[in-house]
Every structure is written in structure tokens, then in C-alpha cells.
Homo-oligomer: A and B are copies of this chain.
């Protein structure tokens, strides 16, 4: 068990948002494992480095492959976008450890934090996460839609700012519209809603609207949606949530 595995995140897109610690971890790796588009963000670092690109939605297979490589003595970096601990590969790695070869428990495994999409999206709009907030994935590949609705309802009733990851994909075109319908039954129509596409990358785009007017078809796989709390508001060209809350 001389190999090692580090799970890293490239940040939201721009190279300047990847931490130096992650750059160092990538440079030290003999093997990079990840979803193709994330691997493409990593520049060529050394001639002897192998890249193992895989499709999206095969996270557990990818995790097992990475662990097997590490167990064979390789220095493996598993590459996510954003922060690897937020709706990304770190949890999949530990799922694979739990259900896999008992020897994998002995491996040197660590996680490097990164800038997750929600933080980059918020920064582009101002400071919409200035108060208490939650982060929720709308993908029902791994949890039931009833669970998602229950969490949305709780977050809206308790007046959290709500960040929605994975708001839509070709296989799931209806979830975000259903989420907006649910939120409209609890929150004011004038609540600010942000659609931030490709946050923290060179081609990012922010659309600001209200919950009443929010059109779910604006979102795609690369969009992060932020729904404000009751105090989230515009000031000038920015959107922010004050640090306090209504009593």
C-alpha cells in the first residue's frame, strides 16, 4: 500500500480559481482520473502522467478504478470540478471504499478543498449568500423527488437562501419548474432568483429575475440557481442578502 489518492476540485472553471494546493497535488500525481471535461482543465504537467477520462454518471466505477490504481502503488489524483466534497467525487470515493476491497481502508486518501460553483456564482452577482443558506442538488438519480420536495419546503419555510445544483439536464427537464412551483407556494413572488451559467469561468453569464417570473428553461447542466431569502435584494447592479434576518 505505497500508493496514494487525493481528491481535488479544479474550481469553477478559470485557472485562477484553482488553489495552489490543488495545483501541487495535480503536479505530484502519476495518474489523473476524472470526467473528461474536468481533466481537460488540467494543463499537461509531466510527461509520465497517465490520464484516465471517463463519462459522467459513472462515478462509482471511476472511484473503484482510482482506488485500484492507488492500491497498485500509483499516486492518483481524482479530478472533480468545483470543490470535490460538494456534489462531486469525494463522497463517491468513500462509498467505494466502504463497499470495496478492505485493503483500501489502509490507503493514504485525502481531499483538497476548492471553490465550489455556488461561491463563484454568488461572487459574480454580489453577495446573495450573505445570510444563512443551503445547497441542494435537484438530481433525483440518487434520492427520491419526495426527499427533494421536503427539503425545498423546509428551506423555504425557514427562510434560507437556497442554492440549487444540477437544476436541469436533458434527462431531467421538469424538476426545476416543479421546484419553482413549490417555492412560489411559500415564498413571495418578488424574491430574487439568479441563474448563473458557467460561474467562475471566462464565459459566465448572470440572469437576475424574480421567483414570480423565473423561467426554468433558462437553466441547463452548467447553471447554478440561487433563490433568495425574504431579505435578499438589489442594490445598484448587485444582489445581496444582509447579514441579519427578519425577526
Seen from chain A, the residues whose Cβ lies within 8 Å of a Cβ on chain B are: 7, 11-12, 14-21, 24, 59, 83-87, 90-95, 97-98, 105, 109-116, 119-120, 122-124, 126-137, 142-144, 146-147, 150-151, 153-155, 157-160, 200, 235-236, 238, 240-247
Distance from A45 Cβ to chain B, minimum over Cβ atoms (Å) = 16
Chain B CB count within 10 A is highest, among A116, A136, A155, A158, for: A158
A115 is contacted by which of B115, B130, B240, B245 (Cβ under 8 Å)? Answer: B115
CA distance A133 to B244 in the complex (A): 20
Q: Contact between A123 and B131 (Cβ–Cβ < 8 Å)? A: no
Closest to A241 in B: B91
26 contacts between A and B (CB under 8 A): A11-B19, A14-B21, A16-B20, A83-B123, A84-B127, A85-B129, A86-B119, A87-B243, A91-B240, A94-B127, A95-B242, A97-B236, A97-B238, A98-B235, A109-B238, A111-B123, A111-B126, A113-B115, A113-B120, A116-B119, A132-B135, A132-B151, A144-B247, A146-B247, A151-B158, A151-B159
CA distance A122 to B119 in the complex (A): 16
Q: Contact between A16 and B24 (Cβ–Cβ < 8 Å)? A: yes
Q: Contact between B134 and A134 (Cβ–Cβ < 8 Å)? A: yes
15 more contacts with CB within 8 A, not counting A83-B119, A147-B247, are A85-B128, A90-B127, A91-B241, A91-B243, A92-B243, A94-B127, A95-B240, A95-B242, A109-B238, A113-B115, A113-B200, A132-B134, A132-B137, A134-B155, A151-B160
Closest to A126 in B: B94
Residues of B within 8 A of A116 (CB): 119
Residues of B within 8 A of A127 (CB): 7, 84-85, 90-91, 93-94, 111
Chain B CB count within 10 A is highest, among A18, A115, A144, A244, for: A115
Closest to A236 in B: B105
A154 is contacted by which of B97, B98, B133, B155 (Cβ under 8 Å)? Answer: B155
CA distance A87 to B90 in the complex (A): 25
Q: Contact between B105 and A114 (Cβ–Cβ < 8 Å)? A: no
A240 is contacted by which of B14, B20, B90, B246 (Cβ under 8 Å)? Answer: B90
Q: Contact between A136 and B132 (Cβ–Cβ < 8 Å)? A: yes
CA distance A236 to B245 in the complex (A): 40
CA distance A18 to B132 in the complex (A): 23
CA distance A19 to B17 in the complex (A): 5
